[in-house]
Every structure is written in C-alpha cells, then in structure tokens.
Amino acid sequence: MRESVLRVVAVHPELLGTYGDFGNAIVLVQRALWRDIPAEIVEAKSGEPLVRGGDIYCLGGGEDGPQARSALELRSDGALASAISGGAALFAVCAGFQLIGESFTGPDGKRQQGLAILDMRTRRGPGLRAVGELASFASEDLGVDSMSRILTGFENHAGHSDLGAGVAPLGKVLRGVGNGSQASEEGAISGRVIGTYMHGPALARNPALADLLLSWIVGPLDPIEGEIEEETGSLRESVLFGVGDRRRARRRRSLFSKRPFGLRRRSGVAGE
Ligand code: GLN
C-alpha cells in the first residue's frame, strides 16, 4: 500500500467547471481508493497560487472568457508547467486542453498565449461549433486493449487544434469532430500529459484512461474487484451506432459484424 496520499488537483473548478469535468478528479480518487491507495482531491481555486506537490492535475472545459482568465493566471503562476516537468501527470479537457497549448483564440477573437506545455495551436474552426457525441479509437501506444480502445464523450467547442510534430493524437475520430484536423485526430498525448475534447466526464466513461493516468504515478494497478465493463461498453455502442433508430443502428452494426474492437452486446441496450 502506498504510504503518501495521492493528490489529485482540480484546477480552477469555478472557471473550468461548465461541463462537469470536476468528475474526472472524483473518478481518479475513487479508483485509487478502491485499490486501497490513499488519495484526495485538492481544489485549486483561481486567484490563489496554484497548489504545489500535486500528483495528477485536472483541467476542465469552460467558456472563452473564463478560459482566457485561467490561462493568464496559470501562465504568470508558472507552477503547473514546473509540476509537469517534475513528473506530475496532467489531464486536460477542451478549454483546459486548448490552454495548455502554445496559443488559442481568446474571447475577443485574438490569439492568446497558452502555457506551452504542449506543442499545439488552437484556432477558430471554419464551420459551426462542434456539438454532439464524440467517439475515437485510441492510439496503440496507450497500451489499452480491445473495447477500452474506443473512447467516447461529448464535445462542445468552437476551437480546432493542430498538433505539433512532437505530440501524438490520443486517438482517431470515429464519430464527431475532435481536434478538427485534416487527419481526424482527437486529443493529444505527450509524456504524462493527456488532452482531449471529450466531456462526459471522460474518465467516468473511459475508465481505462483513468487507470492509465493513475499507473503513471503509482505503477501497475490491480483490476478493481467486481468491476464489469458492461455499462461503459453499452454506452460506447450507442455512441457509435446511434440510438432510437433500430434499423440504422443494425445496418451500421453489421459493418462491425466481426466486432473487431471486441464490442459486446447485451439485451437492454438503448435503441434495441
Ligand atoms: N471555449 C472553448 C471553445 O469553444 C472551449 C469550450 C469547452 O471547454 N467546451 O472552443
């Protein structure tokens, strides 16, 4: 059992809390506690120096104004970038993802500097705001297998993000917009930093990602006793194949008839 308490820092929840991404911190702590790893959430409020000594920092989504304010504060504080270079992990969603890049579009439409933790630039997307379900197929490097490689969430953003040469996408878009790049990329992964456009909260819908973040800090993890993948598996199916229209869902499902990603189906799936 780990001696010290694992500290999960929820950064600026009052600015970056519009989409319920605080849930990611709750999931990380709960999945640690279920394994008898002592863990706690620390809230890092805006207007105060950023909490030092965190193991995993979480940034959530928010509107353009609060996003710009959070970026300004975190840049002048400097502690987040130092924590990451010192070995802490970072999970950043949407506005949080955009602000850890080199630059993003501010509320006035002008380019604003980000924290430069990731080699990535975010611009205003050309078309309508991306709003809806988002599913992607996770990169192999993540080391998660079969069904867990399909990641799902919902997206709601105007910005599109272009990754620099040294940053790998978290996955390839199967449904939705994601980064809005030519190569259908979703999110980013670099060292112990993960960025994504998935709300949900993403770590509740994709527990394999939560365990990946935890394993970077505490090492290999035991499976959680009694945990079943059925619920998140059904959710993945409904995001991929649609709900409500049984014929369309069945037709799309036949494209995946060999279930290449290890999808399982059970009675009672929404839309059946
Ligand atoms: N304000 C950003 C955008 O619209 C991020 C939105 C979000 O966090 N969902 O692109």
Strand ranges across the sheet with 89-93: 39-44, 6-11, 56-59, 89-93, 193-196, 188-190
pTM over 0.85: yes
Q: Per residue in 124-164, pLDDT tens?
A: 999 899 999 999 999 887 776 655 789 999 999 999 999 99
Give per-residue pLDDT as tens, 8-67: 999 999 999 999 999 999 999 999 999 999 999 999 999 999 999 999 999 999 999 999
Q: Which domains does the chain have, with CATH numbers?
A: 6-258 (3.40.50.880)
Beta-carbon contacts of residue 51 (< 8 Å; ≥ 6 apart): 7, 9, 42, 44, 79
Which atom of ligand 1 is least distant from the CA of 156? 9
Mind listing the pLDDT tens digit for each residue in 84-110?
A: 999 999 999 999 999 999 999 999 999
Q: Which atom of ligand 1 is nearest to the CA of 62?
A: 8
- Site to probe by mutation for ligand 1, drawn from 19, 157, 161, 199 as the one with most ligand atoms within 8 Å of Cβ, is 157
Q: Which two tokens stand for residue 220?
A: 């290999």
